Structure 1
């Protein structure tokens, strides 16, 4: 009986010892778990702090980048404005220079103008080959000698040229007065310095409307100088001279 109690006592003691050891192990594991939680929490807090710092730095860099983008956009906008202004200025300068060069300067030719100097030279050659030759032959047929024929035809050309120059100058003067001094009457009009741009536009207008003006010039010259049109071929020659002059 006593042995059984001894064995029971030993079992109880062993159980207590095991319970104590398990408890100690559990407490140790709990302590390690708490330490791990603390370390984890600290690591998490550290990472969160680093994330916040990174976010602050990223936000700061984004602000700098946005400022640089705005500055770049402003610079590009100003550059485009200055480029457009430069192009406008160059266009105006080119236009002014072109107008200045073209006025009273036959050496500067507008290639779109069918009556530019070299084209007029060709047309005068055609005048000699066609109308002049026909008029020459018709006068020769009625017994006029060669020298007289040449003089007559030259006088027609010279007279027509003088008249056309006079009419063109008068027309140009009136147009300039109407444009530059619209408030003045013809009696008050006086010659004034004309901007090259205005003069160039007036000359261009005269060139574009020459076919309209030609009818009036033709009637005036033929009426005042009937001997220029006393035959069909002379009239044809005279009208062609008018067209070229």
Structure 2
């Protein structure tokens, strides 16, 4: 009889402990399921983000500090600051048009150089991941282009430093730019800023597009350009390029042109280019 009572007492005392352990197990399992759900939702969000933003200029990735609108502001800043500084320094030594042409030529050569380097680097990256037989970028698996861009963004500082050195060698060997003969810090800073900007522009997905050459005599279009220092109905020459969001896309930043000055109220060429925000 006493043994039976002891057994019942043991059952009564052990049930709460087993229940507690069971509840702890359920709580741990519930926490694990919540963590897995959170991870899967995060992955789903990332995949959805890639599908929506990859190579899609109509959706802005707000986490990207080098998104197109910010790059547009950077280019305007280069024109307002570095470009104008050099112009003011050289206006007494050289013809204004020659200065404009040389500054624009350096910017365009910088873009061509960065564009070429971008294509070469992209091909090398694809080869590393064994995408050797890909005919074009559009045929790549979704997400590859975005991940390549992220990889490039992480290595921006080192890449830009190497590109700047290489571009300076390229510029000296290929051309006899009169600006380089001054060996001035402002010229070097201008080139450095151009390399940094155009590299970021070239690795955009899709890349920004530029128009460096408006044919002389083209009617001035205020929707695409701003006037530099001379009024007139037609373009005389290009001072600063137009930036488009992508090929055949909308204008991101207006270019700057010098007009022919044939209007009755035309102004004489000033002593510095307009530094109004582009």
Shorter-chain TM-score: which interval?
0.5 to 0.7
Deviation at 1:167, TM superposition (A): 1.1
Task: Quote the Cα distance in structure 1 between the aligned partners of 2:181 and 2:81.
Answer: 19
Secondary structure in 1 matching 2:91: helix
Alignment of 1:230-241 (within 5 A): 230-233=181-184, 235-236=187-188, 237-241=190-194
Match of 2:95 in 1: 144
Determine if the alignment matches structure 1 residue 163 to structure 2 residue 113.
yes
Deviation at 1:222, TM superposition (A): 3.6
Contact 1:103 1:199 in 2 (8 A): no
Match of 2:245 in 1: none
**Of 119, 134, 140, which residue of structure 1 is paired with 2:85?**
134
1:226–1:202: structure 2 CA closer, same or farther, 3 Å change rule? farther
Deviation at 1:132, TM superposition (A): 0.7
Normalising by structure 1, we get a TM-score of 0.58
1:217–1:100: structure 2 CA closer, same or farther, 3 Å change rule? farther
Determine if the alignment matches structure 1 residue 242 to structure 2 residue 191.
no
**Of 152, 172, 181, which residue of structure 2 is paired with 1:203?**
152
1:92–1:156: structure 2 CA closer, same or farther, 3 Å change rule? same
1:54–1:65: structure 2 CA closer, same or farther, 3 Å change rule? same
1:240–1:122: structure 2 CA closer, same or farther, 3 Å change rule? same
Contact 2:107 2:194 in 1 (8 A): yes
Task: Quote the Cα distance in structure 2 between the aligned partners of 1:160 and 1:56.
Answer: 90
Question: RMSD between aligned alpha carbons?
Answer: 3.6
1:134–1:212: structure 2 CA closer, same or farther, 3 Å change rule? same
Gaps of 5+ in 1: 1-48
Deviation at 1:225, TM superposition (A): 3.2
Match of 2:140 in 1: 193
Match of 2:239 in 1: none
Secondary structure in 2 matching 1:226: coil
Match of 1:176 in 2: 126
Alignment of 1:29-178 (within 5 A): 49=1, 55-97=6-48, 103-104=54-55, 107-110=60-63, 120-146=71-97, 149-178=99-128
**Of 163, 180, 203, which residue of structure 2 is paired with 1:229?**
180
Task: Quote the Cα distance in structure 2 between the aligned partners of 1:152 and 1:203.
Answer: 30
For residues 95-125 of structure 1, what are the alpha-carbon distances to aligned partners after superposition, in whole Å with 9 as ceiling and x for unaligned? 44555666555832447x5x56565445434
Give the structure with the larger strand fraction.
2
Give the structure with the larger helix fraction.
1
Task: Quote the Cα distance in structure 2 between the aligned partners of 1:214 and 1:60.
Answer: 80
Count of residues in Structure 1 that have an aligned counterpart in Structure 2: 188
